[in-house]
Amino acid sequence: MAKPILNLAVIGVGNMGRHHARVFSEMEGVCLVAVVDKDRKKGQQVARQYKCGYYVDHAALLKKESLDGATIAVPTSLHTKIALHCLAYDVPVLIEKPIASTLQSAKSIIRFSRQRKVPVCIGHIERFNPVVQRLKKLIDAGRFGKIISISTKRVGVYPPQITDVDVIIDLAVHDIDVCNYLLGNQPKRVYARAGKAMNSRQLDYADIFLSYADTDVILQVNWITPVKVRELTVTGIKAYAHLNYMDQVLNVYNKGHGEEDDIVNIKAIHIRKEEPLKRELKNFIQYVTTQKGDIVTAEEGYQVLKVAQSAVASCKKKQSVRIC
């Protein structure tokens, strides 16, 4: 018996949304009903490319189409309004990170989702990178022993399409979510330093120190480095790992203790490479249809935003901040 076709839509077809449309158009059992974008030229171009409908306004989409789900890939300041409107029509949503621009807005999404009993997932895409998921399995299996520290670097040039959030809310949230996922925990305190080196409107660089129960985490993010770097390292008492997000490469270094000439054993962990977005959207669809699957919940998205906003507060206060 053939599986039922799911009718899906993509609201916002900018840098991320157009890829949502591409992935949905390639999936079996999925009908990309329409895309939405206030930029008519861009929206109509994507609609023609993937042979679907086009709406300039999400309200018109919700009134006319019968949807089984939608993804929201618009500027962060619009997340709450559009998400609440979709939920009012009982349409499950995946909201591109971060969940919302404020914690109060995020709470309103969570509250309304519970009231309507309609799923909300958050698009923290790095969670679905095969190299991150493999590292998680190694950590949970005890390969590293006690994790002493994690460090991340997520740097590159300024993305001109980002106008309503700073580098902490735009970039650091990726690594906050990944570290929460890897450690299975939330940080207790944050200390951050940040500034505006090349951007007069928004913070464009930050160094963030997160204190978990037994692990220290250091995040470096900026929009000023001329080369794009996406990497993470884990230091444990048994082993050390270096992860490259873009190449999906994971190397684990094992070393004995005691002698200076102890041999370092480097093992390249085999990773079956796959586009993280495809894994993320597949899981979203599975969750919509079965209420089961590996997704980032709205509550998890809220916790990530809380840490990021605490980091911003730490910058302003120039002191460590407790994350309540």
Which domains does the chain possess? 6-126+277-297 (3.40.50.720)
State how far the Cα of 46 lies from the Cα of 21, in Å rounded to an integer. Answer: 8
State how far the Cα of 285 lies from the Cα of 262, in Å rounded to an integer. Answer: 49
Neighbour tally for 246: CB within 10 Å: 11
Residue 162 has pLDDT above 80, yes or no: no
Residue 143 sits at φ, ψ, to 5 deg, of -60, -30
Q: What is the mean pLDDT of residues 168-173?
A: 96
Residue with the bigger pLDDT between 257 and 214: it is 214
Residue 324 has pLDDT above 90, yes or no: no
> Strand, helix or coil at 8?
strand
Q: What is the mean pLDDT of residues 109-129?
A: 98
Residue 258 has pLDDT above 60, yes or no: no
Q: What percent of the chain has pLDDT over 70?
A: 96
Query: What are the CA-CA distances from residue 170 to residues 96, 97, 165, 203 (Å)?
Result: 11, 8, 6, 10
Residue 257 has pLDDT above 70, yes or no: no
Question: What are 221-250's pLDDT values in tens digits?
Answer: 999 999 999 999 999 999 999 999 999 999
Cβ atoms of 122 and 296 within 8 Å: the answer is yes
pLDDT band at 5 (very low <50, low <70, confident <90, very high): confident
Predicted local confidence at residue 266, as pLDDT? 84
Residue 159 has pLDDT above 90, yes or no: no
- Complete edge-to-edge strand list for the sheet that includes strand 264-269: 264-269, 249-255, 239-244, 224-236, 147-157, 216-222, 205-211, 189-195, 321-322
Q: What is the mean pLDDT of residues 251-257?
A: 81
Q: What is the mean pLDDT of residues 71-75?
A: 97
Exposed, middle or buried: residue 259 (CB in 10 Å: 0-12, 13-18, 19+)? exposed
Q: What is the DSSP letter of 78?
A: G
The residues, any chain, with a CB within 8 Å of residue 317's CB and separated by 6 or more, are: none
Residue with the bigger pLDDT between 266 and 182: it is 182
Q: What is the DSSP letter of 73?
A: -
Q: What is the mean pLDDT of residues 25-34?
A: 96
For residue 72, the cross-strand partners are: 11, 95
Q: Enter the pTM of the model.
A: 0.94
Q: Which helix (H) or strand (E) holds 241?
A: strand 239-244
The residues, any chain, with a CB within 8 Å of residue 48's CB and separated by 6 or more, are: none
Predicted local confidence at residue 19, as pLDDT? 98
Residue 1 has pLDDT above 80, yes or no: no
Residue 120 has pLDDT above 80, yes or no: yes
Exposed, middle or buried: residue 316 (CB in 10 Å: 0-12, 13-18, 19+)? exposed
Predicted local confidence at residue 263, as pLDDT? 59
Question: What are 172-224's pLDDT values in tens digits?
Answer: 999 999 999 999 999 999 999 999 998 778 899 999 999 999 999 999 999 99
Predicted local confidence at residue 4, as pLDDT? 67
Mean pLDDT computed over every residue of the chain? 94
